[in-house]
Amino acid sequence: MDLFDSLPIEQTGLTAEQEIHALRAELAEQNYKYYVLSAPTMSDREFDEKMHRLQELEAKHPELSDPNSPTQKVGSDISKIDSFPRIKHRYPMLSLANTYSREEVEDWVRKLPPGVEIVAELKYDGLSISLWYEHGQLVHAVTRGDGTEGDDVLPNIRTIAAIPQTLTDAPERLELRGEVLLPWERFEALNKQREEQEEPLFANPRNAASGTLKLQDSREVARRGLTCYLYYMLGEQLPGTTHYERLEQARRWGFPISDAVRVCQNVDEVMEFIAYWDTERKNLPVATDGIVLKVNSLAEQEELGYTAKSPRWAIAYKFAAERQLTLLKQITYQVGRTGVITPVANLEPVQLSGTIVQRATLHNEDFIRQLGIQEGDRVYVEKGGEIIPKIVGKAEDNTSGQPCQPRTPGFITHCPECGTELVRVEGEAAWRCPNEVSCPPQLKGKLEHFVSRKAMNIEGLGSETIALLYDKGLLHSIADIYSLRADDLAAQERLGDKSAQNILASVEASKQVPWPRVLFALGIRMVGETTAKKIAKRFRSIDALQWASKEELTGIEDVGEQIADNIVAYFADMRNLEIITRLQAAGLQLAATEGPATAELPQVLEGKTIVISGTFTEHSRDEYKQMIEDYGGKNSGSVSKKTDFILAGDNMGPSKLEKAHSMGVRLVSEQEFLQMIHG
């Protein structure tokens, strides 16, 4: 059962009390999925409509008020595990009241005091962040959390080049708030990579940015390429008397401030700004979902004040997602590298946000059943985040009047490629084809994964070449790659002698790829790049891993029961063992080349949280981070009450030093640390 029971809202037939309780449960569930899991299952508009309905009901029935109602609280993005230190906000970090109605925007403007200036800005669709500077140094980066406290994700924020690490001529204490974003280009590349590895796709850049910012590996965060826009300044004795003046000052200090900001004198100028950006935003490199309007005068902001959830001096106008009605002509099914069956909706072509949409993913059987759709239905299609087509519902009248393929009564039962009966593993949403040996898409997918850049990095064997060699009978398993001959390759269409030699040279070079990447390349279900590294650290060779028990495997960080079962099943299959034997004979690195296994090292730092600061002479910072993990400790990027000690080098950061002294955290020198772990 999920954390919350799913409660579909049927207003007809429910009492006011029943509907209020049902709405509260459903909105709480969606807040959890949106803020914590970064995997919402409800559109923003549907969520907002349900929230407004709940507000109306609670206003009519004050006797049913509840301080824990979603109408009274900001949705929380605080991690459920102690991944990051938690920091209490100096100023509450509230959400904004929002509307999809331009008439309501006009009403809000006209209710303001006469002559009030309004600053109109783009509403960027990312993860809210609060940057704290002390004495010119960036010391905290706190997520919205529940509005009262949030997670300090400073190490990951430091990877964003646009954010200044130090300031000059700035107040002693300063706070900047804004949105962390993943640009469209980076988002598409990330989802393409996840699709290749058959990992769940991010629904939109906001979810991708949220998931990225909560990663424990700052190096992976840096690779994904987050960016940021800041939109509000807080603190004591700050320059300027208006919001706009402070934005301009922040820009002079080097903060990333959007150019799409306008001071409006009246409602007509506000409407002009909204109308312009409703179209032009589609040309921006990052996602936006509306316009934010703020009273410009800081004194007038203070006078207008706040509600429990939002400031009265600001409002958000949200753009409605473009939606079209079209015919679901046919549902087809794709087979992935691991045998996962993905249903695809083939649609009557329809124009949506400037492009022609003909196909949309249906994810899995549960998604189809939830929407209640089948071939021949008329369905509503939206572009999720203005880029990914998705079906969001069907028309009540399903009579299309147009010819279509025969209806499919339910999800297919056999593989569309090889005819094998499908299986569904308990606890998983997807159906799979279990025929890993002779199902063509699975075999080709495994080959493509094996030669990919992050795996064996074999150049010249792209998807088309792999398909060609598969069809010619030259490739049927990853081990066949190491039996390829130059004359066989050169004889193929579009290859020739030079291409053949280049491919074989890259194949030979792949024999030096280290053990963790080889393990990842094998394509064991759910064993991604990061998980493979952790497994390879614990089991230093494939021979050791082959005999690992489920209990030993689940003792590794991030290896749950499903992954452990997949590994055990992989090595129980004689066909996989034959492939491994051939790879060993070919000379691949199926064992670590040096260093003791983690399990052999004394876990003298077990249970300790350690911060590294300064420069060192014996080892690099990255090497010390690895040592901390190898000896059982946990790295942290910031000093908190949970910090056991700071590994302090030369030129230690002044903010960390000051905080260590104020909190009584012990400083350990480089030599003391080495003595501690080596004895």
Give the residue from 656, 625, 636 showing the smallest Cα distance to 216: 636
- Are 636 and 647 in contact by the 8 Å Cβ rule? The answer is no
Which SS3 state, helix, strand or coil, does residue 469 take?
A: helix
**DSSP structural state of residue 62:** G
462 φ, ψ (degrees, to nearest 5): -80, 180
Half-sphere exposure of 450 (CA within 13 A, CB side): 26
State the Cα–Cα distance between residues 44 and 33, nearest whole angstrom: 12
Alpha helices in 472-603 (DSSP H): 486-490, 496-509, 515-521, 529-538, 542-546, 550-554, 561-572, 574-586
Cα–Cα distance between 190 and 362 in angstroms, integer?
20
Q: Is 329 a catalytic residue?
A: no
603, 639 contact by CB (below 8 A): no
Question: Nearest to residue 536, comparing CAs of 515, 514, 558?
Answer: 515
Query: Cα–Cα distance between 660 and 647 in angstroms, integer?
Result: 11
Q: Is 227 helix (H, G, I), strand (E, B) or coil?
A: strand
Q: Terminus-to-terminus CA distance in the chain, angstroms?
A: 48
| Strand-by-strand arrangement of the 634-636 sheet | 634-636, 609-613, 645-648, 666-668
Q: Where are the alpha helices (DSSP H) in 234-266?
A: 243-252
Looking at the DSSP assignment, which residues form a beta bridge with residue 388? 384
Distances (CA, A) of 328 to 256, 626, 679: 44, 53, 69
Tell me, rounded to whole angstroms, the distance of Cα 596 from its chain centroid. Answer: 34
In angstroms, the CA 452 to CA 466 distance is 12
Contact 645, 604 (CB under 8 A): no
DSSP state of 477: S
The candidate with the shortest Cα–Cα distance to 656, out of 144, 154, 128, 88, is 154
Contact between 71 and 55 under an 8 Å Cβ cutoff? The reply is: yes
User: What's the DSSP call for residue 73?
Assistant: S
The answer to whether the beta carbons of residues 186 and 146 sit under 8 Å apart is: no
Question: Alpha-carbon distance 6 to 10, whole Å?
Answer: 13
Three state DSSP letters for 145-202: CCCCEEEECHHHHCCCCCCCCECCCCCCEEEEEEEEECCHHHHHHHHHHHHHCCCCCC
**Alpha-carbon span 367 to 357, nearest angstrom:** 20
- Specify which residues 175 forms β-bridges with: 132, 234
d(CA 41, CA 650): 49
- Spatial CA neighbour of 493 closest among 464, 536, 454, 452: 464
**Residue of 211, 165, 199, 181 lying closest to 37 (CA atoms):** 211
In terms of residues, how long is the chain? 679
Q: Is 347 helix (H, G, I), strand (E, B) or coil?
A: strand
Among residues 33, 50, 123, 329, the one annotated as catalytic is 123
**DSSP run (H or E) holding 303:** helix 298-304
- Give catalytic residues, as residue numbers: 123
